[in-house]
Homo-oligomer: A and B are copies of this chain.
């Protein structure tokens, strides 16, 4: 197996943790909040229950992303997704605890209004809860429940980054970028958009320029576009999979190996979105979350139908992958407006997102190799969802979680001010995340490399990165993959690795 810098990153992370543990006083660093307060009002109990349950299904979206990616990978690259998702989620959890949450949702650091949070490192001394969560802080759920809920959002955003890079990226890249993303990139971007930062609550120059507060209820921009932007930066530096583009420059389909598992991923994600959007109320007392459940489901349904219709028009086929990505694209799109629109608006928002899906995937596929369609489903649909607030926000709902006295979207107010805030908002978030991510990936590329070797790509990442196949009993060398020849005789072992049948366990 390779001994690379990459695989030395994990020990370094661990060493860092152990050092941190050695710091005196660390043991006293966090003060658990809820229990210390003694008996809480009942509403804190049941609001927190909802936030935790919502967070749990959002956490389970990791399985959704894993199986969406596994389904769209060739079977020689299926096992690595499991190691990737566990590693990334774990790194994010540690980074979120140490710094991420504080930067994203802490009270503003002294003197730096609207740019970055500065309290709550290690969940210690979180600060005045009335100041924290300035907008979403309507609730009285425990800080710990919000910490967990916002962590799984960060982990979703990170998971979105990698679908685009499947089947050729080095494992170590996941590790390095995950640290930067969960510690810095996501927290700052999220702070700006829905953590009380300047895009959500205009201050200083931003206020003087006359911007109204950006609306992004559950993160079309803050979670999905940020993830897709990271994916875009990675893809530009990484390049396509071997064989994706022919000598003529035309794209070839590289079918994923398992549509049933792709379907499992989609259904888990759909389920998770009932935590994602309705959970973002952080509160059940006003019943608003139940309305958001209905809005979310209706949009997703229209996304499936829109994507199937449009892909049928383009290809005369009812594409299974498009149906699934239609659901996801629509769910991404409804994420921002779900808190601000009437039920009916879920239909155009979802339907248009569904239509965007095949159009975007086919267009991007001509130049960029995005195996799962994440640039479209999370990127383009994230933009559409963010903008749609500027069209459809209902005045009576817009005030639910927006600063000032919002006039609502264009359809209601005739005003472009919300739409302008949305457009500038996602542009700012995109620019920040793209610059940070491109710089990070560029540095990784120079120092360590982004891609596995051609031989490793041929052999598959499972065997080359992990020394084992995801499906050792039925592995078929990729060189033999011709037409329907799933059953072809394996004559050429894909790489010089020790025979599995005689490989010994380490002593």
B residues near A456, Cβ cutoff 8 Å: none
Interface size on A, residues (CB 8 A): 183
Q: How many angstroms between the C-alpha atoms of A504 and B270 in the bound complex?
A: 30
Task: Check if A11 sits within 8 Å of B287, measured CB to CB.
Answer: no
B residues near A291, Cβ cutoff 8 Å: 32-35, 142, 144
Q: Who on chain B is nearest to A472 by CB?
A: B255
B residues near A319, Cβ cutoff 8 Å: 83, 466-468
B residues near A435, Cβ cutoff 8 Å: none
* A206 contacts chain B at the CB level, 8 A cutoff: no
B residues near A443, Cβ cutoff 8 Å: none
Which one of A188-196, A278-286, A424-432 is at the B interface? A278-286
Task: Check if B7 sits within 8 Å of A83, measured CB to CB.
Answer: no
Task: Check if B144 sits within 8 Å of A290, measured CB to CB.
Answer: yes
Which one of A214-222, A231-239, A479-487 is at the B interface? A479-487
Which one of A70-78, A110-118, A160-168, A374-382 is at the B interface? A70-78
Task: Check if A505 sits within 8 Å of B365, measured CB to CB.
Answer: yes
Q: Who on chain B is nearest to A316 by CB?
A: B1
* A445 contacts chain B at the CB level, 8 A cutoff: no
Task: Check if B40 sits within 8 Å of A285, measured CB to CB.
Answer: yes
Q: Who on chain B is nearest to A363 by CB?
A: B507
Task: Check if B37 sits within 8 Å of A287, measured CB to CB.
Answer: yes
Task: Check if A122 sits within 8 Å of B343, measured CB to CB.
Answer: yes
Q: A323's contact among B83, B315, B326, by CB below 8 Å, is which?
A: B83
A-B residue pairs, 4 tightest by C-beta: A34-B287, A82-B263, A93-B301, A79-B259
Task: Sample 23 A-B pairs with CB under 8 A, ordered by A number.
Answer: A7-B318, A17-B347, A45-B285, A46-B284, A49-B50, A52-B293, A53-B53, A59-B297, A60-B267, A79-B260, A81-B263, A86-B323, A90-B302, A91-B301, A250-B504, A255-B472, A259-B471, A260-B470, A319-B466, A473-B476, A474-B474, A483-B500, A484-B500
